[in-house]
Structure 1
Amino acid sequence: MIKVLIVEDDPMVIKFNKYYLEQIDGFKLSGIARSANDAFDILSKEEIDLILLDVFMPITDGLELLEQIRKMDKNIDVIMVSAARDSATVKKALHYGAVDYLIKPFEFERFRSALNNYRNREELINDKDDLSQEELDKHILYNKQDCDLIEFPKGLDKNTLKISWEKIIQNKDKVFSTEELAKLVGVSRVSMRKYVSFLEEKGALKKKVIYGSIGRPIYRYKCLKSDENIINIIIKP
């Protein structure tokens, strides 16, 4: 289990982050700190793998805390969770090794994607002594390399799209509905409809309309390009 420390001074944000974290497999909440001093106290007593860290906190802010953690030479990863969105703050957080940056307010889908990607990366690194370039590109360097090449409509999340595509190709010989895929991925049917429509538009899926005797027609989809990586499907022409 990945041991997580939430460092946040807003009680409502703590509540949501705690609830979100409980919905994702592989993570255990090991502590909650409402200040940098509280965080240092917990870190001196507990083995922590990942910190969900806010920037705006009293006395010592999140960036100062992150800098101090790096000086401690502890093997701890950090995902920033903050309303701070100015480029200087983001750049400094990345400079100090933040593995992701979530801007408040954010949807659960984005939170889940960040945590799942982190868990998958850790499993890959910990399970292998040597990594190939292909594995690095796919699981670790992928986001940084391809973010400028991929065209995404507003409202879609790249990581959720990737997870959706993985679920589709796992059942590539079956037809499915938007609702069925939404349950597999863990998002709402309304949200999943956007991703399915996008994949259909890119030629990755084919829609079939089934007319019943009563009520609205049912739309089901079939995978057309299971041999292609999702990145190849959505790269700008």
Structure 2
Amino acid sequence: MLQILIVEDDPMVSSINKQYLMKIIPPAKMRLYQVDRADKALALAQKLQLDLVLLDIYLPKISGTELLHLFIEHNLHPNVIMLSAAKDSQSVNHALNYGVLDYLVKPFSFERFHKAIEHFLKYNEVLNQDRQLSQTELDQVFITQDFAGEKEMTSLPKGLSNFSLNKIKAVIAETPDYFSNQEIARKSKFSRITTKKYLDYLVKTNELTIKTHYLKVGRPIKLYKANK
């Protein structure tokens, strides 16, 4: 059974989102929770294995984008679809850095909402299968609707995830000039082995430049810098 959480402080909007969901997913196949604050959402996410969070940005005390950071800090990774009136670049960047499944700007149509939920259902169905996946099945997961309305391929090499890549990219964006793998590992709270794989991938895709820095004592180290 799917466990879905709506995080919305406007009772009418929350009720509409619930009605929309019930038109798409049979009530017998989901357990639906509704909260009006981010701290309540975090508490639920820590207790339950949430499959999906429908998240507003403009919330009292703690915003939706701050909640995304709290999910990461608490090592929680629920799938998130943003449903918000916020459409500034900073809010969108926060959502991208977390790795949200979709971003719907209020007021949105039922058709657009339906498309977002259908993508989540395909994503959830495909990735929960304990077997080898076909390219067609992978395309259903990784060819998604982006914020500009165009389709793009977001698949990664085996062993890499969009969630971790986005988190590392966010750390890099906040790190000026050259940086080491150790620094990114410390800031992202991943192991150095993990971050090295992602840094190597970003070098291959020409998003990072790498150079060797020779120390007066000890072995030389590799330094990276984001390409503008």
- TM-score norm. by structure 1 comes to 0.57
- Note if contact 1:18-1:29 (Cα within 8 Å) is conserved in structure 2: no
Following superposition, the deviation at residue 33 of structure 1 comes to: 1.2
- Note if contact 1:54-1:62 (Cα within 8 Å) is conserved in structure 2: yes
Deviations 1:38-71 (A, max 9, x none): 1122223332111000000111100000111122
1:12 equivalent to 2:9? Answer no
Q: Distance in 1 between matches of 2:22 and 2:65?
A: 26
1:25 equivalent to 2:25? Answer yes
| Aligned residue identity for 1:2 | L
1:94 corresponds in structure 2 to 96
- Quick one: structure 1 residues 8 and 133, their matched pair in 2 at CA, closer, same or farther if it must change by over 3 Å? same
How many pairs does the alignment contain?
Answer: 149
2:110 corresponds in structure 1 to 108
Q: CA RMSD in A?
A: 2.3
- Note if contact 2:82-2:102 (Cα within 8 Å) is conserved in structure 1: yes
Q: Distance in 2 between matches of 1:109 and 1:65?
A: 27
Following superposition, the deviation at residue 134 of structure 1 comes to: 3.8
Deviations 1:150-196 (A, max 9, x none): 9xxxxxxxxxxxxxxxxxxxxxxxxxxxxxxxxxxxxxxxxxxxxxx
- Note if contact 2:143-2:151 (Cα within 8 Å) is conserved in structure 1: no
Name structure 2 gaps, 5 residues minimum: 153-228
Q: Distance in 2 between matches of 1:132 and 1:59?
A: 45
Q: Give the alignment of 1:196-215 within 5 angstroms.
A: none
Q: Give the alignment of 1:1-237 within 5 angstroms.
A: 1-25=1-25, 28-137=30-139, 139-143=140-144, 148=150
| Aligned residue identity for 2:23 | Q
Following superposition, the deviation at residue 126 of structure 1 comes to: 1.1
Q: Distance in 2 between matches of 1:76 and 1:149?
A: 23
SS across alignment from 1:127? coil
Deviations 1:72-125 (A, max 9, x none): 222411000000011221121011111111110011111111111110111111
Deviations 1:136-156 (A, max 9, x none): 22x022226995479xxxxxx
Q: Distance in 1 between matches of 2:90 and 2:115?
A: 24
- TM-score norm. by structure 2 comes to 0.59
- Note if contact 2:7-2:37 (Cα within 8 Å) is conserved in structure 1: yes
SS across alignment from 1:88? helix
- Note if contact 1:8-1:54 (Cα within 8 Å) is conserved in structure 2: yes
- Note if contact 2:53-2:79 (Cα within 8 Å) is conserved in structure 1: yes
Q: Distance in 2 between matches of 1:113 and 1:144?
A: 9
- Note if contact 2:46-2:76 (Cα within 8 Å) is conserved in structure 1: no
